[in-house]
């Protein structure tokens, strides 16, 4: 058993989808956890990312306002609120304010699940920054 502490400063590599002002960085992934991922995402106002979730995910807004759109409608969360997504959901993530920050928790590991799914092509646009 162990207890670990992470901050946004522990992100080793930030990734960006294309040239959008969206930055995603894991602090817990398959290299240091057997079961789940945890990381930080930063979105600027109006920036969005279309995605198909191939894992279960909780998004905890720590700064700003964040919206997730799906066939169920739009769910918007402010700092201190969270949004839960289930595997197989087609979504659009969007920052509603500059410097919106979200902590994401996924099970199983989001990157591995996505890479091994029929939606792996959605990762093609991601590059390290």
Domain membership of residue 77 as a residue range? 21-120
Based on the structure, what is the number of domains in the chain? 1
Digit-coded pLDDT (tens) for 95-112: 999 999 999 999 999 999
- pLDDT (0 to 100) of residue 4: 95
Report the CATH number that the domain containing residue 116 is assigned in CATH: 2.60.120.10
Specify the pTM.
Answer: 0.95
Digit-coded pLDDT (tens) for 21-55: 999 999 999 999 999 999 999 999 999 999 999 99
Domain-located, residue 74: yes
In 3D space, the residue among 103, 91, 89 whose CA is nearest the CA of residue 43 turns out to be 103
35 in Cβ contact with 81 (< 8 Å): no
């Amino acid at each position: 058993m162990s207890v670990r502490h992470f901050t946004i400063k522990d992100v080793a590599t930030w990734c960006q989808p294309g040239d959008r002002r969206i930055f995603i960085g894991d602090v817990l992934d398959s290299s240091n956890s057997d079961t789940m991922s945890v990381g930080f995402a930063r979105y600027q106002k109006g920036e969005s990312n279309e995605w198909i979730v191939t894992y279960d995910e909780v998004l905890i807004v720590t700064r700003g306002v964040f919206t997730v759109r799906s066939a169920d409608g739009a769910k918007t969360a402010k700092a201190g609120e969270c949004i839960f997504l289930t595997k197989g959901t087609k979504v659009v993530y969007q920052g509603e304010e500059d410097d919106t920050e979200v902590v994401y928790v996924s099970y199983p590991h989001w990157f591995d699940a996505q890479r091994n799914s029929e939606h792996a092509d959605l990762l093609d646009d991601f590059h390290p920054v």
